[in-house]
C-alpha cells in the first residue's frame, strides 16, 4: 500500500499499522489513526480498540505525536473472569 500523504515542512510523519501518514504539527495519535483508518479511529474512541506503540505497550490516543512514531491499533480483549468463563479452569 502506498502512503497517504507526502511529508511537508508543516507535517509530522508517523506510522499506523505499518502505513505511513503525514499529519499537521500539534496532532495527537488519534488524528493519525483517523487519517488512515476512520473506522478504526471510531472503534478506538468507543473503547473497542486500543492503541499501542511499536513495542506493544499501551499508548493514550490523545498523546501528542512525535515524528517517526509507530502505532498499532489492536482489539480490546474482554477479561474472561468478567463473564465467569474462566471459573474452574486449571
Residue pLDDT, tens place only, 28-60: 999 999 999 999 999 999 999 999 999 999 999
What is the C-alpha to C-alpha distance for residues 35 and 32, in angstroms, rounded to an integer?
Answer: 5
How far is residue 80's CA from residue 42's CA, in Å, rounded to a whole number? 25
| pLDDT of res. 2 | 45
Domain membership of residue 81 (yes or no) is: no
CATH number at residue 60: 3.10.20.90
Is residue 84, in this structure, part of any structural domain at all?
no
Confirm whether 20 is domain-assigned.
Answer: yes
State the Cα–Cα distance between residues 82 and 29, nearest whole angstrom. 29
- Asked whether residue 2 is assigned to any structural domain, the reply reads no
Is 90 inside a domain boundary? no
Q: Of 9-13, 40-44, 62-66, 68-72, where does mean pLDDT reach its minimum?
A: 9-13
What is the pLDDT confidence band of residue 6, given thresholds at 50, 70 and 90? low
Confidence class of residue 10 from pLDDT cuts 50, 70 and 90? Answer: confident
CB 51 within 8 A of CB 34: no
CA distances from 11 to 29, 48, 49 (A): 14, 29, 26
Domain presence at residue 55: yes
Establish if 89 belongs to a structural domain.
Answer: no
Per the structure, the complete domain to which residue 71 belongs is given by: 11-76
Domain count, the chain: 1
Residue 4 lies in a domain: no
Amino acid at each position: 500500500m502506498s502512503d497517504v500523504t507526502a511529508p511537508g515542512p508543516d507535517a509530522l510523519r508517523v506510522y499506523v499499522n505499518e502505513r505511513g501518514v503525514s499529519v499537521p504539527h500539534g496532532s495527537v495519535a488519534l488524528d493519525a489513526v483517523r487519517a488512515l483508518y476512520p473506522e478504526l479511529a471510531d472503534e478506538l474512541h468507543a473503547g473497542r480498540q486500543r492503541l499501542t506503540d511499536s513495542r506493544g505497550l499501551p499508548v493514550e490516543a490523545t498523546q501528542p505525536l512525535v515524528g517517526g512514531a509507530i502505532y498499532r491499533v489492536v482489539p480490546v480483549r474482554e477479561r474472561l473472569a468478567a463473564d465467569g468463563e474462566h471459573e474452574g479452569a486449571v
